[in-house]
Amino acid sequence: MTHSSSTLYFLIFLAVLIRASAHHAEFCNYTRNFTLNSTNSAYVKNRDTILSSLSQNVAAHDGFWNTSTGQNPDTIYALAFCRGDTSANLCENCVGTALHDLVERCPDQKGAFSWGTGGQPCFVRYSDTPIYGILQMEPSLLIDSVDIITMSPAVWWNLTLGVVNQAVDSPSKLKFATGQATLPDNRTIYSLLQCSPDLLANDCRSCLNEAIDYDDKHGRGKQDSGVYMPSCIFRWDLYPFVESSLSPPPPPTAPGGTFSKGTLVATIVSVAVFVMLLFIGCCRLRRRRAQTKYEAAQEECGVIEIPSLKSLQIDWDTLLSATNNFSQENKLGEGGFGEVYQGRLPNGQDIAVKKLSRTSGQGGEEFKNEIVLVVKLQHRNLVRLLGFCLEGGEKLLVYEFVPNKSLDYFLFDPMKSKQLDWPIRYKIISGIARGMLYLHEDSRLRVIHRDLKASNVLLENDMSPKISDFGMARIFKVDQSNGSTNRIVGTYGYMSLEYAMHGQFSQKSDVYSFGVLLLEIICGKRNNYYYQSDGGEDLASYAWKHWRGDAPLDIMDPALGESYSRSQVLKCIHISFLCVQEDPANRPTMANIVLALSGQTLSLPVPREPAFFLQTEMPNNFMGKDQGYDQITSSSVPLSSNEALVTEVYLR
């Protein structure tokens, strides 16, 4: 090796060491302190006791240890784990060093955590509140270099999302996975993801997706980039940074044995191998026949094109068992799209299974669209997709089970609506707004939902909302502000005029739907209620008359009684009118809506008279079948004049 080559390798090695040392970080919880000079305090003693043996316990238990000690209010909880490719010695040293640094840098804080040191980090946390099994994604640490590189985004996404699935489904308790992919220029990119081993699979997936999303926004394009969070890590680079584990050499062959004994052994082995091969052949033949049918269904839906989705496939037999053979007792509801069943997976997780009707009009493209979107979108106000099934010509989507059904189940029932007092309704309104803001601006995709309505908002036990049904959603490019289509989908009455009449949709068409939904939540009435009872008047025009007549609070749901904030209700009515303006340019963004709902002082413009959609004269060809329109109506109510058919009915 030449002197110049030696110098070059030394400089590269030195650069790696310098960058690795920069990955050292601690975080102190300054909101929970104790008195430092109380050296005899119970909390100090408990902390010193639990931390003194943590590094040895982590190394002795395959890289992960969780423990607690003491009585309230001096209980301390501690957790530590090492990266999946770290040896026991390195793991113990890393945890020991991290603990020493934490106590030194966070001397009087009751909670702290460290991302360890260098390129093989460990993760150490302690707190006076429980931390085991609790997802925590803040604060986060972005590591990257100044070296900007060009590469294929498609290769990067396929690799990272594929490794996410490997980490979540890893048989190792460390929830650790690595992967590599070849770029078009023959360079190789390497990826590593790991969750805190105490996380449930869904929380692990959420954390990793959030880390990838954060890196995509702030670090992608920079070599050796990654994101460290308290509950997970993500890292990738163009050089192999993972410690590879060498398989141990095979044991030496034992000498001795007579010829006859060797012959007997060889005969037995040969017969066993033959029987095994015959068995494997039969199994593969059966599997190939089933797989041919399965891949045909996959190809129809386009799922086969996305390797990272394979780990989300759930076989038919599992869902059959989970739903008690799709029994009537497990049925949650049905509509034009098909039927929904409650089930329970073998691991005890409750699920909701949407079994799409073959006549629903929701074909392969919509099915694939919903899978791809919901997997990439992770937010507390969006429903989570757990998997899907394509067998025997069936299309099934498996979601997290949301126990309180949908918003319309409560809102439009005279008795059940009493459970929705104003604080709960305001919580639901704010949650829907945050979910829509995430879709429009904060996710790594820019998504237009196109079918926001009360029946597509599910409610948790605490009445937190989750937006569902992304089959009709559309992805926008970063620099794209609107789109158009001649295939209009959604629910008439929630559609903006420009979308229903001309097929033009944008974020502002979602804002219009939000405004209609907001009025429904305030009034406790469907948007077509007054059209049916008062001869052609929709909810917006009814509310506008009271607004102009200085009696806006008269539109409130009587079930609310006196449990409301006058200022909040007036603000929500004001926002709803801004949302249903005829000109999209006059409608607010979801960002401004969220700010207004969060209590920020904003000067809201004076609303103009809303677009009274039901009073608008429709063009003569609006009902024409040759226009390519199709109408998706709410499955929870009969079709009414407010949900008039645009053309042929494609129920789902």
Distance in angstroms (rounded) separating the CA atoms of residues 490 and 42: 61
**Which DSSP symbol is given to 364?**
H
CB 31 within 8 A of CB 72: no
DSSP letter for each residue of 557-584: -GGGTT-S-HHHHHHHHHHHHHHT-SSG
Single out the residue of 310, 12, 287 nearest to residue 165, CA to CA. Answer: 310
How far from the centroid of its chain's Cα atoms is residue 521's Cα? 26
**Which DSSP symbol is given to 305?**
G
Strand, coil or helix: what is 447?
strand
Among the options 128, 215, 451, 469, which is catalytic? 451
- CA atoms within 13 Å, Cβ hemisphere of 343: 29
SS3 per-residue string spanning 188-202: EEEEEEEECCCCCHH
Distance in angstroms (rounded) separating the CA atoms of residues 518 and 71: 47
Q: Could you tell me which residues are beta bridge partners of residue 68?
A: 77
DSSP letter for each residue of 374-417: HHH---TTBPPEEEEEEETTEEEEEEE--TT-BHHHHHTSTTGG
**Which DSSP symbol is given to 85?**
T
Query: What type of residue is 347?
Result: N
Confirm whether 451 is a catalytic residue: yes
Q: Is 355 annotated among the ligand-binding residues?
A: yes
Distance in angstroms (rounded) separating the CA atoms of residues 488 and 502: 9
Q: Is the dihedral of CA 86, 89, 91, 94 positive or negative?
A: negative
Annotated binding site for ATP, which residues? 355
The residues that are catalytic are: 451
